Structure 1
Amino acid sequence: MAVYVITGKNGSGEPLVSVQISAINQEGPVIQELDAVNALRTFLAGVAGVQFVVAQKYEQVITTV
């Protein structure tokens, strides 16, 4: 799974709050990763002082030689 960092920023672009999702553990496919990320983006957008929210996705690629 990728690691997601969701950041709520003020009107000047300065970060106010940042949340990292590093794992979503589920036995079967119950929810999609992006559904969880978007739910958190929506939540942070409603926080007082937050003007916009950005989400970044980080993935590690491992190559065996």
Structure 2
Amino acid sequence: MPSYVVTGKNSSGEPLVSVNIAAVNQDGAVVQELDVVNAVRAELAGTAGIASVVAQKYEQVITNV
């Protein structure tokens, strides 16, 4: 699973808060991982002082030769 970093920035573009999402553990497919990321983005976007929210996705790629 990829990991995500959701960052809330002020009007100057400086990061104020950062949320790391390393895993969404479920027994079955209950919610999509992007739904979780978007919920965190929406929560940060509605917070006073946050002008923009950015979500970055990181994936590890392993190549066997």
- In the other structure, the counterpart of 1:51 is 51
Query: Gaps spanning 5+ residues in structure 2: where?
Result: none
Q: CA deviation at 1:21?
A: 0.1
Structure 2 distance, partners of 1:30, 1:61, is 26
Q: What number of residue pairs does the alignment pair up?
A: 65
Q: CA deviation at 1:34?
A: 0.4
The superposition leaves residues 5-50 of structure 1 with CA deviations (integer Å, 9 ceiling, x where unpaired) of 0000000100000000001100111110100000000000011100
Structure 1 distance, partners of 2:25, 2:37, is 14
Percent pairwise identity: 71
RMSD, aligned CA: 0.5
Task: Please report the TM-score for the alignment, with normalisation by the length of structure 2.
Answer: 0.97
Structure 1 distance, partners of 2:24, 2:35, is 11
Tell me which stretches of 4 or more aligned residues in structure 1 moved more than 3 Å.
none
Query: Gaps spanning 5+ residues in structure 1: where?
Result: none
Task: Please report the TM-score for the alignment, with normalisation by the length of structure 1.
Answer: 0.97
